[in-house]
Amino acid sequence: MCGIIGILGRDAVSDRLVEGLRRLEYRGYDSAGVCTVHDGLLDRRRAEGKLDNLAKKLLADPLPGAIGIAHTRWATHGAPTEDNAHPHATEQVALVHNGIIENFKPLREALQARGRVFTSQTDTEVVAHLVSEKVEAGVDPVEAVRTSLKEIHGAFALAILFREHPDLLIGARLGSPLVVGYGENETYLGSDALALAPLTQKIAYLDEGDWVVITRDKVQIFDKDDQPVERPVTLSGVTGALIDKGNYRHFMLKEIFEQPVVVAQTLQSYLRPLEEQVALPDRDFDFSKISRVTIVACGTSFYAGMVAKYWFEQFARMPVDIDVASEFRYRAPVLDPGGLALFISQSGETADTLAALRHARAEGQTIAVVVNVPTSSMAREADLLLPTYAGPEIGVASTKAFTCQLAVLAALAANLARAKGRLSPDAEREIVKHLAEAPAAMNAALSHDSEIEALAPLIAPARDVLYLGRGPDYPMALEGALKLKEISYIHAEGYAAGEMKHGPIALIDDNVPVIVIAPSGPLFEKTVSNMQEVQARGGKVVLISDAEGIALAGEGCMATIEMPKVHPLIAPLVYAVPVQLLAYHVAVVKGTDVDQPRNLAKSVTVE
């Protein structure tokens, strides 16, 4: 993962580099560092932990220089210590890196055999030595980078500085994103347009294998074959203002409460309420020839895909495969010609999902992407782009992006069904009506915040928590468990309710809270039977249901959380709210870092 930024500027750059890192902290926050060139020196400041530690160091010991690079790290190779923090430097060269150098071991051994001394455990440091070795031997820096890039395998976005060339910044990318920003007599490099937003909106996206040489008078981009190329300069449209928490204690809570608005915003682009029809932003896309859908995603986005599988099968009667992106490529999936491969991602940069997308394209699939970041790699590589309009999601645990994904996927299911001749105008009218009701129902769900807050101290001491659901509520159980474990660090598992008796029921005792997600409806009775099996063994149940469900089965539960009565189609959007709020309040009781939980990063750009 990691975020990188570089500036070839007119005046001091270090404050602006740190400001850029603040926008990149979602990519990792284990350590951070800055390097500039000034007075014939490569001068670095690095600090373990959050960016504020680096900012404090810079305050005490400022860094002059009109050219610089900076990095915020999510550790892959080597612990998150100051020695392993980027930039990595030799006497002649300093660089920052996002990605993984897969052949770093043989390279490091060879460099060490030639007498090079390493000061970190990172994979990155080999690149600094490879380039430096050549520069020290008198090779021109541009040629040194060009030839070094041929020696490294893996994924990288790099920004490189040279001690003896204070007007030269070189960038390169393969597998990890890198953009070039054009300012007034200044040029920038960044992991994304967001990092550069206060500096410029004029952005060129580098292609795979591109590298770029930035000097005072020229920006020259080369492709993977080292041929000079032009990459279009676009206006990013990303605002320079840092998003703030408003009156909320955490971004996560703010984002949970934003859901009715952003889901409504997203649905606006997918529903035509007057005509009582669903309509995708790309109205010309022909679904009639699609014979099969393969859904691929990671984490929370994968759970949105699991819900969509139920919908695509139910409404469109289409065969649907689903896989986590990190497994998809490696199991030789059989992809029929004429298939639609559907990728779901908040960031649009998740390395596993992006690699799976490229694999599916190579296998002749049509590529559809449900994505929240419109400038992301996935958005740019889609045949059918299905944007979510959740707005920037800052909390590491995904909330509003998830429910917006569900809204888009429900509309897509209806679209597929209509294209396949399986949706009558009446049925479509019903779907539009129910989807349009979702924001209000989510608002009603949010009104139970204080009850859920009151419940949190009872869940917080647990060592393990189980979540149960059936049908589309099964992925919601998985999502509830994921939310709880990632921000409260409590071990939690989601199970298909009916699967409990095949093993997991052995885990039940009176110390294990069991959260049962069971809206009244066709699957309710079956789920309640499984819930009773848990209660019979002393399990403490929290039942999340509507008034009807709670009246039927609430007795004997440790607690109940009442949701509005909704149509099963929108239940996943509504029931997402209490599981998010429960995880949030438990984490607050436990005092964890809700928005930046340990070991995680918002955008996972390594495989």
Stretch that binds ligand F6R, among 96-104, 131-139, 342-350, 432-440 (CB under 6 A): 342-350
CB of 376 to ligand F6R, least distance (A): 9
Smallest gap from residue 375 Cβ to ligand F6R (A) = 14
CB of 482 to ligand F6R, least distance (A): 6
Cα–Cα distance measured from residue 416 to residue 306, given in angstroms and rounded to the nearest whole number:
16
Q: Does 347 bind ligand F6R (CB under 6 A)?
A: yes
Q: Does 298 bind ligand F6R (CB under 6 A)?
A: yes
Shortest Cβ 72–ligand F6R spacing (Å): 17
Q: Give the contacts of 211 (CB within 8 A, at least 6 positions apart).
A: 145, 146, 149, 170, 171, 172, 173, 221, 222
Q: CA of 156: how far to CAs of 103, 123, 176, 334, in Å?
A: 12, 11, 5, 30
Q: Which stretch binds ligand F6R (CB under 6 A): 215-223, 242-250, 346-354, 457-465?
A: 346-354
Helix/strand/coil for 341: strand
Report DSSP state, residue 565.
Answer: P
Active site residue 35: no
404 lines the binding site for ligand F6R (CB under 6 A) = no
> 130, 112 in Cβ contact below 8 A?
no
Q: Which of 14, 122, 301, 560 binds ligand F6R (CB under 6 A)?
A: 301
| Under rule CB under 6 A, residue 350 binds ligand F6R | yes
Is there a cis peptide before residue 87, judged by omega within 30 degrees of 0?
yes
Check: CB of residue 54 under 8 Å from CB of residue 237: no
Q: Any contact of residue 133 with ligand F6R (CB under 6 A)?
A: no
Question: Catalytic site residue 602?
Answer: yes
End-to-end CA distance of the chain: 9
- Under rule CB under 6 A, residue 377 binds ligand F6R: no
Residue nearer to ligand F6R on the CB measure, 318 or 487: 487
Of 297 and 384, CB closest to ligand F6R: 297
- The residue range among 18-26, 294-302, 383-391, 591-599 that interacts with ligand F6R, by the rule CB under 6 A, is 294-302
Q: What is the 3-state secondary structure of 346-389?
A: CCCCCHHHHHHHHHHHHCCCEEEEEECCCCCHHHHCCCEEEECC
Tell the residue number behind the tokens 């469900």, with chain if given.
549
**Which is nearer to ligand F6R, 51 or 369 (by Cβ)?**
369
CB of 322 to ligand F6R, least distance (A): 14
Q: Is 595 a residue that touches ligand F6R (CB under 6 A)?
A: no
Query: Which one of 84, 98, 191, 346 is in contact with ligand F6R (CB under 6 A)?
Result: 346
Residue 14 is a binding residue for ligand F6R (CB under 6 A)? no
Helix/strand/coil for 203: strand
Task: Verify binding: residue 353, ligand F6R, rule CB under 6 A.
Answer: yes
Give the span between the Cα atoms of 599 and 607, in whole angstroms: 15
The answer to whether 195 touches 239, Cβ cutoff 8 Å, is no
Question: Among residue numbers 429 through 468, which ones bind ligand F6R (CB under 6 A)?
Answer: none
55 in helix, strand or coil? Answer: helix
Which residues contact ligand F6R by CB under 6 A? 298-301, 345-347, 350, 353, 397-398, 482, 486, 603-604
> Catalytic residue positions?
2, 602
